[in-house]
């Protein structure tokens, strides 16, 4: 593959804090290597509609600290059709764009990989999702920020829990991955953490809460991952606990979309900058159909086929730590 001279960048899927920092790094890295850089608005849909804008180093100033993605994101039904993808390819060709950087999650990579195979068009991915559910990278962009957002929210809820001797069930995001719940649960000092990788079950939760009460705890926070069986009906779980543990008043908070936004943490800004630079480096080395990830604090390339295999298993050491420190 010859080295590209014009690169496009887009964001797709759920937004995550740090996506803007990643776009900025791609744009400035292009400027550094004297490549043109085109921003594609609204993800794959914008590719189909030709919603393009040239991006220079000054057009991305003052965005490193902003949540969301200024290129916007959108679902694209059209991109699932052959006709849609052909239109996308023809738009890229007409603009003389020679390679594409996509920032998003596994759905984004699956779409990009199919497009790559179909048209032999160079594509490199950057993992941007708060869920940390991508294989082949230790961390995804936005995950660290989401952890801080969750921990700060639970710190606030704990003020009330302590003041009233209450039990709070706090539902957090993460799709099928328990990473947010487990790490934020440890960080927030949760008494119990329910994650999809471990199905604790209502009975064991009840026993454990009962033990806590006896050991002198007067309030409790239970962090529930949205992907956990119990989390799928969190209000039902609350009722079940109240009926079976009468000492407790139970309250539910579903943290919701605040977890996707906010100014990115320093870690996410640095990670996004490294991966954005790494993506352009990879294209210049002639790589394609890979995701740029971070493993053991080094920037690496991982085939898309690996990345979309689903997340790594949950860390047993962390589960043990959670058990010990909630004693």
Point out which span in 12-20, 46-54, 118-126, 283-291 binds a copy of itself (CB under 8 A): 12-20
User: 46-66 burial string, b = 16+ CB within 10 Å, else e?
Assistant: bbbbebbeebeeeebeebbeb
Closer Cβ to a copy of itself, 3 or 257, answer by number: 257
Single out the residue of 108, 269, 292, 307 in contact with a copy of itself (rule: CB under 8 A).
269
Q: How far is the CB of 152 from a copy of itself (least distance, A)?
A: 8
Does the annotation list 204 as a binding residue? no
Contact of 314 with 180, CB cutoff 8 Å: no
Which position has the token pair 């064991």?
Answer: 204
Cα 73 to Cα 35, 37, 41, 69: the distances in Å are: 24, 18, 7, 7
Please tell me whether residue 88 binds a copy of itself under the rule CB under 8 A: no
Contact of 174 with 255, CB cutoff 8 Å: no
Single out the residue of 50, 107, 262, 303 in contact with a copy of itself (rule: CB under 8 A).
262
Please tell me whether residue 68 binds a copy of itself under the rule CB under 8 A: yes
Does the annotation list 260 as a binding residue? yes
Does the annotation list 311 as a binding residue? no
Does the annotation list 117 as a binding residue? no
Please tell me whether residue 265 binds a copy of itself under the rule CB under 8 A: yes
Q: How far is the CB of 182 from a copy of itself (least distance, A)?
A: 9
Q: Which residues does 169 contact at the CB level (< 8 Å), separation at least 6?
A: 222, 224, 234, 237, 238, 241, 250, 251, 252, 253
Q: How far is the CB of 28 from a copy of itself (least distance, A)?
A: 5
Identify which of 159, 306, 149, 156 has the alpha carbon closest to the alpha carbon of residue 219: 159
Does the annotation list 296 as a binding residue? no
Per CB under 8 A, which of residues 130..189 are in contact with a copy of itself? 138, 144, 147-153, 155-160, 162-165, 168, 183-184, 186-189
Pairing between β-strand 52-54 and β-strand 36-40 as defined by DSSP bridges: antiparallel
Which residues lie across from 99 on neighbouring strands? 7
As annotated, the active-site residues are: 131
Binding residues for ADP: 24-28, 158, 189-191, 217-219
Binding residues for substrate: 129-131, 166, 173-175, 226, 251, 257-260
């Amino acid at each position: 593959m010859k080295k590209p001279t014009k690169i496009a960048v887009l964001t797709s899927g759920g937004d995550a804090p740090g996506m803007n920092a990643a776009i900025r790094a791609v744009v400035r890295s292009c400027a550094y290597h004297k490549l043109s850089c085109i921003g594609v608005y609204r993800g794959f849909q914008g590719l189909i509609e030709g919603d393009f804008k040239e991006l220079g180093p000054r057009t991305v100033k003052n965005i490193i600290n902003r949540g969301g993605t200024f290129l916007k994101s959108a679902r694209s039904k059209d991109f699932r059709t052959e006709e849609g993808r052909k239109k996308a390819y023809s738009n890229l060709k007409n603009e003389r764009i020679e390679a594409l950087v996509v920032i998003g999650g596994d759905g984004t990579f699956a779409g990009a990989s199919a497009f790559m195979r179909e048209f032999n068009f160079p594509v490199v991915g950057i993992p941007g999702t708060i869920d940390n559910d991508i294989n082949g990278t230790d961390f995804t962009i936005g995950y660290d920020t989401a952890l801080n957002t969750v921990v700060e929210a639970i710190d606030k809820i704990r003020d009330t829990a302590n003041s009233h001797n209450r039990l709070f069930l706090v539902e957090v995001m993460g799709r099928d991955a328990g990473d947010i719940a487990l790490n934020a649960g440890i960080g927030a000092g949760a008494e119990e953490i329910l994650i999809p990788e471990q199905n604790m079950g209502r009975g064991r939760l009840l026993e454990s809460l009962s033990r806590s009460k006896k050991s002198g705890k007067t309030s409790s926070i239970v962090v529930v991952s949205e992907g956990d069986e119990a989390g799928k009906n969190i209000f039902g779980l609350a009722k079940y606990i109240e009926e079976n543990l009468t000492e407790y008043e139970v309250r539910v908070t579903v943290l919701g979309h605040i977890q996707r936004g906010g100014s990115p943490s320093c870690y996410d800004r640095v990670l996004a900058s490294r991966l954005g630079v790494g993506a352009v480096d990879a294209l210049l080395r002639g790589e394609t159909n890979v995701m740029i990830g971070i493993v053991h604090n080094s920037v690496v390339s991982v085939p898309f086929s690996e990345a979309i295999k689903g997340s790594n298993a949950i860390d047993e050491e962390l589960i043990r730590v959670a058990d010990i420190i909630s004693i």
